[in-house]
Chain A
Amino acid sequence: MRITGSSHGRTAVLLLVGASLTQGLQAAPAPEGWSCQWCPAPARAEGHVEAGVGYVSEDSARFGRYTGRDEKGPYAIADGEARYRGDGGQYLEAEARDLGLESREARIEGGRQGLYEAAFNYDKLPRIGLATSRSPFRGVGGTDMTLPSDWVPARSTRNMTALAGSLQDADIAHDRERFGGELSVIPARNWHLRARFQREEKEGIRALGGAIGPGVGSSRAAILPVPIDYTTDQAEAAVAYAGARLQVDVGYRGSYFDNDNEAVVWDNPFATANQPERGRISLQPDNEFHQLFASLGYDLASHTRASANVALGRMTQDEDFLPFTINPGLATALPRDSLDGEVDTTQIDLKLTSRPLERLRLKAAYRYDERDNETPQARYPYVIADALPSPDARTNLPYSFEQDLVDLSAGYQVAEPVEMSAGYEYDRRERTFQEVDETEEHSVWGRVDASPTDILDIHAEYARAERDRSDYELVAEIVPPQNPLLRKFNMADRDRDRASLFLTLTPYRLVSLSLSGDYSRDDYTDSPLGLQEAEQFSYTLEASLSPTRRLHTHAYYTRERIFSEQTGSQSFGTGRGATGADWSADNDDTIDTVGLGLKFAAIPGRLDLRADYAYSRSVGDISVRSDRQTLAPFPDLETDLHRLSLRASYQLREDLSLELGYLYEEYDADDWARDDVVPDTIPHVLTLGEGSQFYQVNVYQAALRYGF
């Protein structure tokens, strides 16, 4: 059947105008006689439920960190999904996942398709921490932490005679629970209104360093298990129009963060001479963020499209200030009662993409990004760690940033299987209250995408960027001053080279081999001190083989190396003025990852098998060198993770299957920052004694899945 309109006359014009206006969201009408008798009845209900038992073989906080499977023993498997559709587009969908675990989530959605939709969701995400954490503090989880009445304070943790007998488990963990709803209405053709709301409650305990005491030499610290009791509401409302040529999306989003706790007060375990009895540290203040946004897309003639985005935001924070110190003997008047902090954010993006010729592709983009910090400044005669008035008052520095980014690129298909692309980018940034007012970076890149034969794809890219800065001047307000020879890496002169390569070879339809890699090198060309160079290199070899339609296998190996060299000056401040580098440090991380996978329809339509294995090993080598002194080496930092997952699905009957699963995970780490560090290892820091989290865990699962 051929669809024909009137060939001429008013009818034709009206039809075409109508088509032109409605093209986009309105389907073209079905020709006469298209009844679709073979289509299934609209009204239908389908879904599945799955129920069973799982068993975890060992306790491991790290293994169960995000699922709640941290303790040995059984757990319930309960998942399900149901979808109902009515005759007139009505629908209701319900989905639940991991109901037997702490990481459970559920969603229910319904409405009438094409008119309105509403959804509600619930999601819980645990984050179990380091189960071996122990602390002598009482009142953990509250805002006033005390030491036992028989506590014996000392200048060193090793002389805290009551410490061993006072330690109790401090459960460093938190849960996130999210509740939300969405409403979507289509009031008229091409229009769409949507509104979303989400509340997140985050509760638990985290570890926070609490320093106390005057000066570096005599200061002490205790790692405090402080409460998390956050409520964050997020709301968004928008109206969208989508026509054939013009699309618009305009709306508001807001985020409102509320912390139930303003501060934590703690007894000072080091409270001997010159040490205060108690300390007080602030927790995260309430804040709000409001943003208006508008996106626009417009199809111009000649395969050209313009798009724009504007986002205007405001971050505010005005929580009442705490006093300078909990120590009443040092109390002084605050210059303000609260910060009245306000940051205005502006992002403007303009983009133009065009394909004026079949073989030519052009893109031009401009981005303006501003963080305008309008927070008022004042001088704060602060107190050092609740112990000593600072000899110098400090003025707060409300940092502002501004960026202009121009991005131009073109691609041309020089031959049927070869496209050459090139681009230029200009990135200008301005900062306030920092050492460098302005940086400018020019980048050029070129790329080849080619398929020289039917079985080979090649993508190769090289980019070069050079960044220059304005004068580097120390910020007078920062006391004591930085070494004037240091160049902070984010605003230093820098040359950057990047290259990437992606090769895919498909000698047969069922065999694929690929090599992908990327390399980048940053060279800080005028930095006597600070980061000197940074290099990253990664490659992946991958092979997939599907010898039959029933069997799919794949294997990959990825290596990534992350290297950097930095320098420092230990002799700075020794009376000889600014001195150049007298030590350097290399950080060299190498991470190898291996993956194997198999999917096999062992008995087609009845038995499906799946196996996945991943192994990740990282080695971190930190090497510090000095011409002036002999430095002791660091042992390597190492982590090893093995993960094997086996699954089998056996169809007992058409609507019922048996689902079996096995998961093995093994993790080990050598981490000198944590291994063998018990609460009194560091004389001047009372830690929680977090240990590395070695585990070997087997998980067995058996469940029945009923489909309907």
Chain B
Amino acid sequence: MSRAVWASLALLLSVGSLVAASEPSPSADTGQADYSKRGADTCLKCHDADSKFPVMAIFSTPHGVASDPRSPFAGLQCEACHGPGGAHADIVMPGEERAPIVSFDPESGAGAQEQSAPCLRCHEGDERIHWHSGAHAQRGLACTDCHQIHRADDPVLDQARQQEVCFDCHKKQRAQIHRAWSHPLRFDEMACSDCHAVHGSPAPSLLARPTLNQTCYSCHPEKRGPFLWEHAPVAEDCTLCHRPHGSNHPALLTKRPPWLCQQCHSQAGHTSVARDGSGLPPQGSGRSLLAKGCLNCHSKVHGSNHPSGVKLMR
């Protein structure tokens, strides 16, 4: 083949490789092509532990391991993510503004897609395959809105501190975990990511498993069944009866028995009776109101495998 054909092919592949990544590369954004003269040595002269933007902690993270060929420090070092920094590293005269570099500061003006692109070049596999279609990406979040790359202990990766990051936006859920009944997030014994695949998920609400019920079963497998006598709403959707982020009713219920149950159960007799305050001590002692309410007798609400358990009492 002629040199021109090879050149054309090279050009085609160049374009192809640019298109292949759905995001523009940092260098394409900045229009810069000059890398610094000495790589990280250039950067670290200024960005030491005492600088406004200290970066040395990155060497305590997987990103700073040069022996891993996948790591930024096995290649273009700082500029693997920040793009060519030659202009940024140039000497500036007094009063002159330093040339910018690809920054992940939320106030840098760069779009979320542009900010996430360097990360996704390496981190688009595994559980991040569905990142682009997930709610976080669709609502314009960048990886660095939640992650702190230049820290040895990124708070969002710590079970005890992750919720602070999530609750920055999810304010209603922050209040809900303080309810009388809630999962143990308030005690730092659970993290949002135990149930939510925050990097994208095919399931609704970014759930960690393909369905809501499967997500719940990962910690509550005894409710999975299948049972001989299934309770239809239980098999369909746990949140028909439960509020997973917290409730002021026992067992995270949306409301208390008997009214919770009476939304669907209307048989003649005790099921349909209008329960009122006369059923409370000292004047009354309503068995559908006190203690476990309807569950005093119909206790197997998640399903029964007893041959006589059709009324969920066995």
Closest to B76 in A: A28
- What 16 additional pairs, Cβ within 8 angstroms, besides A12-B10, A232-B221, A483-B267? A13-B13, A28-B80, A114-B69, A249-B129, A263-B306, A287-B224, A317-B227, A343-B225, A347-B202, A353-B138, A383-B308, A384-B308, A558-B172, A635-B277, A673-B289, A687-B296
Closest chain-B Cβ to A612's Cβ sits at a distance in Å of 10
Contact in complex: A618, B122 (CB < 8 Å) = no
Tell me whether A159 is interfacial, beta carbon within 8 Å. no
Query: Among B94-102, B141-149, B176-184, which stretch is in contact with chain A?
Result: B176-184
Interface residues of B in 182-199 (CB under 8 A from A): 184, 186-187, 189
Given A287-B224, A341-B226, A634-B276, A9 contacting B7 (CB threshold 8 A)? yes
Closest chain-B Cβ to A479's Cβ sits at a distance in Å of 9
Q: Contact partner of B187 among A66, A409, A516, CB < 8 A?
A: A66
Closest chain-A Cβ to B126's Cβ sits at a distance in Å of 5
Contact in complex: B125, A241 (CB < 8 Å) = yes
The 5 closest A-B CB pairs, nearest first, are: A573-B268, A242-B125, A27-B75, A34-B39, A114-B68
Please, which residues of chain A bring their CB within 8 A of the CB of B75?
A: 26-30
8 A-B pairs within 8 Å (CB atoms) are namely A28-B75, A30-B39, A257-B224, A307-B130, A341-B228, A369-B210, A569-B272, A620-B248
Contact in complex: B314, A281 (CB < 8 Å) = yes
Closest chain-A Cβ to B181's Cβ sits at a distance in Å of 9
Per-residue B-contact encoding for A494-516, CB less than 8 Å = 1, 0 else: 00000000000000000000001
Query: Among A390-398, A465-473, A651-659, which stretch is in contact with chain B?
Result: A390-398
Tell me whether A225 is interfacial, beta carbon within 8 Å. no
Contact in complex: A287, B226 (CB < 8 Å) = yes
Contact in complex: B10, A297 (CB < 8 Å) = no
Given A67-B189, A380-B310, A353 contacting B133 (CB threshold 8 A)? yes
Closest chain-A Cβ to B23's Cβ sits at a distance in Å of 8
Interface residue range, chain B: 35 or more
Per-residue A-contact encoding for B72-87, CB less than 8 Å = 1, 0 else: 1111110010000010
Tell me whether B54 is interfacial, beta carbon within 8 Å. no
Please, which residues of chain B bring their CB within 8 A of the CB of A248?
A: 129
Contact in complex: A85, B65 (CB < 8 Å) = yes
Contact in complex: B240, A490 (CB < 8 Å) = yes
Per-residue B-contact encoding for A267-297, CB less than 8 Å = 1, 0 else: 0000000000000111011010101010111
Closest chain-A Cβ to B233's Cβ sits at a distance in Å of 6
Given A540-B172, A672-B280, A209 contacting B3 (CB threshold 8 A)? no
Contact in complex: A382, B310 (CB < 8 Å) = yes
Contact in complex: A293, B138 (CB < 8 Å) = no
Tell me whether A639 is interfacial, beta carbon within 8 Å. yes
Contact in complex: B67, A339 (CB < 8 Å) = no
Query: Among A145-153, A164-172, A322-330, A696-704, which stretch is in contact with chain B?
Result: A322-330
Residue of B9, B256, B289, B314 contacting most chain A CB atoms (<10 Å)? B314
Tell me whether A19 is interfacial, beta carbon within 8 Å. yes
Contact in complex: A27, B70 (CB < 8 Å) = yes
Q: Contact partner of A351 among B33, B202, B277, CB < 8 A?
A: B202
Contact in complex: B307, A334 (CB < 8 Å) = yes
Please, which residues of chain B bring their CB within 8 A of the CB of A631?
A: 274, 276-278
A23 to B20, CA, bound (A): 10
Per-residue A-contact encoding for B200-235, CB less than 8 Å = 1, 0 else: 001100000011001001100111111111101101
Q: Contact partner of A209 among B176, B259, B298, B305, CB < 8 A?
A: B298
Given A20-B20, A27-B70, A482-B267, A315 contacting B65 (CB threshold 8 A)? no
Q: Contact partner of B66 among A39, A324, A582, A688, CB < 8 A?
A: A39
Contact in complex: A297, B66 (CB < 8 Å) = no
Number of A-B contacts (CB under 8 A): 530
Contact in complex: A618, B248 (CB < 8 Å) = yes
Given A394-B310, A633-B276, A673-B289, A245 contacting B70 (CB threshold 8 A)? no
Closest to B273 in A: A570
Please, which residues of chain A bring their CB within 8 A of the CB of B313?
A: 209, 211, 281, 385
Interface of B is mostly: loop
Please, which residues of chain A bring their CB within 8 A of the CB of B228?
A: 321, 339, 341, 375, 380, 396
Closest to B256 in A: A673
Please, which residues of chain B bring their CB within 8 A of the CB of A564?
A: 255
Closest chain-B Cβ to A249's Cβ sits at a distance in Å of 6
Q: Contact partner of B276 among A34, A321, A632, A676, CB < 8 A?
A: A632
A613 to B138, CA, bound (A): 34
Closest to A224 in B: B299
Interface residues of A in 53-110 (CB under 8 A from B): 65-67, 83, 85, 87-89, 91, 97, 103
Closest chain-A Cβ to B139's Cβ sits at a distance in Å of 8
Interface residues of B in 26-72 (CB under 8 A from A): 33-41, 44-45, 56, 59-60, 62, 64-72
Tell me whether B175 is interfacial, beta carbon within 8 Å. yes
Contact in complex: B34, A259 (CB < 8 Å) = no
A275 to B44, CA, bound (A): 83
Tell me whether B290 is interfacial, beta carbon within 8 Å. yes
Please, which residues of chain A bring their CB within 8 A of the CB of B68?
A: 89, 113-114
Closest chain-B Cβ to A706's Cβ sits at a distance in Å of 16
Contact in complex: B175, A568 (CB < 8 Å) = no
Please, which residues of chain B bring their CB within 8 A of the CB of A624?
A: 274-276
Q: Contact partner of A39 among B20, B59, B70, B296, CB < 8 A?
A: B59
Tell me whether A247 is interfacial, beta carbon within 8 Å. yes
Contact in complex: B291, A685 (CB < 8 Å) = yes
Please, which residues of chain B bring their CB within 8 A of the CB of A639?
A: 179-180, 248
Tell me whether A203 is interfacial, beta carbon within 8 Å. no
Contact in complex: A27, B74 (CB < 8 Å) = yes
Closest chain-B Cβ to A398's Cβ sits at a distance in Å of 7
Contact in complex: A684, B292 (CB < 8 Å) = no
Please, which residues of chain A bring their CB within 8 A of the CB of B295?
A: 209
Closest chain-B Cβ to A234's Cβ sits at a distance in Å of 7
Contact in complex: B44, A538 (CB < 8 Å) = no
Please, which residues of chain B bring their CB within 8 A of the CB of A339?
A: 226-228, 305
Please, which residues of chain B bring their CB within 8 A of the CB of A690?
A: 291
Tell me whether B237 is interfacial, beta carbon within 8 Å. yes
Please, which residues of chain A bring their CB within 8 A of the CB of B289?
A: 672-673
Per-residue B-contact encoding for A556-599, CB less than 8 Å = 1, 0 else: 10101010101011101110000000110101010101010000
Contact in complex: A209, B296 (CB < 8 Å) = yes
Tell me whether A547 is interfacial, beta carbon within 8 Å. no
Closest to A343 in B: B226
Please, which residues of chain A bring their CB within 8 A of the CB of B33?
A: 2-3
Please, which residues of chain A bring their CB within 8 A of the CB of B71?
A: 27, 113-114
Tell me whether B124 is interfacial, beta carbon within 8 Å. yes
A53 to B259, CA, bound (A): 47
Closest chain-A Cβ to B246's Cβ sits at a distance in Å of 9
Please, which residues of chain A bring their CB within 8 A of the CB of B176?
A: 560
Closest to A678 in B: B281
Please, which residues of chain B bring their CB within 8 A of the CB of A1?
A: 34-37, 86
Closest to A630 in B: B276
Contact in complex: B121, A282 (CB < 8 Å) = no
A434 to B264, CA, bound (A): 12
Please, which residues of chain A bring their CB within 8 A of the CB of B311?
A: 384
Closest chain-A Cβ to B275's Cβ sits at a distance in Å of 7
Tell me whether A480 is interfacial, beta carbon within 8 Å. yes
Tell me whether A210 is interfacial, beta carbon within 8 Å. yes
Please, which residues of chain B bring their CB within 8 A of the CB of A249?
A: 125-127, 129
Please, which residues of chain A bring their CB within 8 A of the CB of B64?
A: 39
A242 to B262, CA, bound (A): 51
Interface residues of A in 498-537 (CB under 8 A from B): 516, 518, 529-531
